[in-house]
Structure 1
Amino acid sequence: MKECSKALVLLNMGGARNKNELEMFLTNMFNDKNILTIKSDFFRSLIAKFIVKSRKDSAWKNYEAIGGRSPINPLTEKLLSKLNDELTDTCVVQVMRYTPPFAQEAIKELEKKKVKEVILFPMYPQYSTTTTKSSVEDFLFFAKRKFHIKVIEPFYKNRVFNEAIIDTIKNSVEKHEEYNLIFSAHGLPQKIVDSGDPYEKQINEHVEILSALLEEENIHFKSISLAYQSKVGPLKWLEPALDEELKKFRDQKVLIYPIAFLIDNSETDFELSIEYNEEAKKIGIEEYKVCKCLNDGENFIKAIKDIINVV
């Protein structure tokens, strides 16, 4: 790590590099009080153990389908390398919530470099207690006032960021008017939203902003809609579910943009690109395509620089 007095810390959930890390990911996630909103740590731990035991083998089969590891790790490393080259006066590091590198490790490294100022950049465009709040709280807990810390607010309204998304969508297909564009967001249990989580509201606003930008650029899709993926368990989740939304487009072409993700991960590479693709074939969708996330693209790097300069 280069010498610096300021650091940019990218916060994300993480992803497994092997089967042991998958068990670690699931264990840490279901022990997170922001995910399983149970007051008792003891009962949360018991439930977490049960869930992990019942899911880890089937979840690993999903990982095997994409090469046995999440793409989030190598892609984030590439992004870090480029940002460290671009931001000459700033150390850029990553902190994952459920798999290494954890906050404790990053904080020790920043202390060694005598970093005084830290900018926390949650890699979630829209705010949710299950993502942004969980990641920020985790870092602040271990930092214990060792740095002057600023936290980037939800940036789904940032123009440069949204132009990067539009560029990705625009270049994913040639004849836009032949495709139905679906913005797919990671779902949440309805009870979390009902308790005051602003995620759904911000997702809806983001879809409106991107739809207006597409109109500005004279890019016209056959239709534009929003759906939610990743529902698990018996609870009511945000709707419409992506599998239900796809049923509207039999014999038509569909383009999916993962609006809640910045870096490709198991949910984009397996769930969207493989699992829902199989569902689309069963429905009779003529063509099903998934946009890549912004990843380490130059437009995303420009957006990050623009967003942190607003702090």
Structure 2
Amino acid sequence: MKMKTNKALVLLNMGGARSKDELKTFLTNMFNDRNILTIKCGFFRGLVASMIVKSRLNSAWKNYEEIGSETPLHKLTEKLVDKLNANLEGYKTYQVMRYTAPFASDVIKQMEEDGIDDITILPLYPQFSTTTTKSSLEDFELYSDDKFTTKIIKTFYKNEKFNNCIVNEIMSQTDTPKEYNLIFSAHGLPQKIVDAGDPYEKQMNEHVEILSNMLKEKGYEFNSVSLAYQSKVGPLKWLEPSLDDALVDFKDKNVIIYPLAFIVDNSETDFELDLEYREIAEEIGVGDYKVCKCVNDSDEFIEAIKDIIK
């Protein structure tokens, strides 16, 4: 049994839906986020958000029904928290989601009741973006109100132990890398957010280079290694190339997809990558199409977290 501690590790993530009602909550909170929908006036942002939610709710829920009517993110995150609580000495681990429960306000109350006064915040986004890391940190800080001594880890895409988790997952997919093309797939962003100074694209390119070099050092040279972006919505220009455009180049060729922007599997990995883009790949005539799992609650990632927060 672990000894009582005043220190906490707080994992931040977006959340996801476990019912249609919770999907409405998720979409409503997301599109009311000024980091996502960058309309300065809160009233107009709320108005546009309600219109988007109304138009997208039913179609988005059909996607969730394809993966069992709930995101895998919550159960996997609970497993990750349980493992950390069993294996991370000196800390109690909590999770906070941005758009669905458990919300920051409730978790902060629980931490106060538990006697926590010293926290390390680890947003589960390896690369920094205003739409993910900044948004989640702002939300947490709104409710924490300087109640804790706080250390924040803003990125960890350069951490070697974390990158070993990714490399090992990719290597597990094939013994013949020359017969495959490796595509790192990242969640897309509107180009205007990057143009405004968001470092996400730059860090994503750096991460791909780090992982490519690590794979080569282990003797894994793929036919090609590239980066593409998924999940584009709306008429704005987004980061390119999109994954569906990128797949066109691989007719009659084999591909392995690694979901580089995600730590825990979710609707974007289980539905978009494994079902939606698989259908696109089949229509194009792509040969073997493999999708890697995220690091999730693996023992290897537990060790990486220990190193990241050290």
TM value normalised by structure 1: 0.98
**CA–CA distance in structure 1, aligned partners of residues 189 and 3 of structure 2:** 39
Aligned to 1:41: 42
User: What is the CA distance between 1:114 and its match in structure 2?
Assistant: 1.0
Are 2:299 and 1:298 equivalent residues in the alignment?
yes
Question: 1:82 aligns to what?
Answer: 83
**Structure 1 residue 299: Cα displacement:** 1.1
Q: Which digits, 9 at most, give the CA deviation of each residue in 1:43-96, with x for residues without a partner?
A: 000000000000000000000000000000000011001000011321101000
Contact 1:2-1:91 at 8 Å conserved across structures: no
Please give the alpha-carbon distance, in whole angstroms, between the structure 2 residues aligned to 1:60 and 1:298. Answer: 32
- 1:14 equivalenced with 2:15 (yes/no): yes
Please say if 1:69 is aligned against 2:66: no
Deviation at 1:2, TM superposition (A): 7.4
1:212 counterpart residue number: 213
Give the Cα–Cα distance (whole angstroms) in 2 for the partners of residues 301 and 92 of structure 1.
Answer: 12
Structure-to-structure mapping, 1:44-193, within 5 angstroms: 44-193=45-194
Secondary structure at the residue paired with 1:172? coil
- For structure 1, the 5+ residue unaligned runs are none
Distance in 1 between the 2:154 and 2:48 partners? Answer: 32
Matched residue count: 309
- Structure 1 match to 2:257: 256
AA in 1 matched with 2:241:
P
Q: Matched residues in 2 for 1:80 and 1:116: separation?
A: 19
Deviation of 1:106 (Å): 0.6
> Contact 1:188 / 1:231 at 8 angstroms: preserved in 2?
yes
1:121 deviation in Å?
0.3
Distance across 1 between alignment mates of 2:84 and 2:173: 25
Correspondence list, 1:218-257, <5 A: 218-257=219-258
| Equivalent position amino acid for 1:125 in 2 | P
Separation of aligned partners in 2, 1:22 and 1:173: 36
Residue deviations 1:30-51, cap 9 Å, x none?
Answer: 0000000111000000000000
Distance 2:107 2:258 in 1: 31
For 2:126, give the aligned amino acid: P
- Distance in 2 (alpha carbons) for counterparts of 1:217 and 1:254: 19
**SS of aligned partner of 1:8:** strand
The answer to whether the 8 A contact 1:181-1:256 is kept is yes
The 5 Å alignment of 1:278-289 reads 278-289=279-290
The Cα RMSD (Å) is 1.0
How many Å separate the matches in 1 of 2:117 and 2:193? Answer: 36
Residue pair 2:85, 2:91 contacting (<8 A) in 1 also: yes
Query: Which 5+ residue runs of structure 2 have no aligned equivalent?
Result: none
Instruction: Letter of the 2:48 partner, please give it.
Output: I
SS at match of 1:121: strand
SS in 1 for 2:172: helix
Contact kept? 2:126, 2:156, Cα under 8 Å: yes
The corresponding residue for 1:23 is: 24
* Identity value in percent: 62
- CA apart distance, 1:276: 0.1
1:185-213 deviation digits (Å, cap 9, x = unpaired): 00000000000000000000000000000
Report if aligned partners of 2:96, 2:102 keep a CA contact under 8 Å in 1: yes
Alpha-carbon contact 1:120-1:152 (below 8 Å) kept: yes
Tell me the secondary structure at the aligned position of residue 186 of structure 2.
strand
User: What's the TM-score, normalizing by structure 2?
Assistant: 0.98
Deviation of 1:173 (Å): 2.2
List per-residue Cα deviations over 1:235-268 (Å, max 9, x = no partner): 0000000000000000010100000000000000
Measured after TM superposition, the shift of residue 153 of structure 1 is 2.4
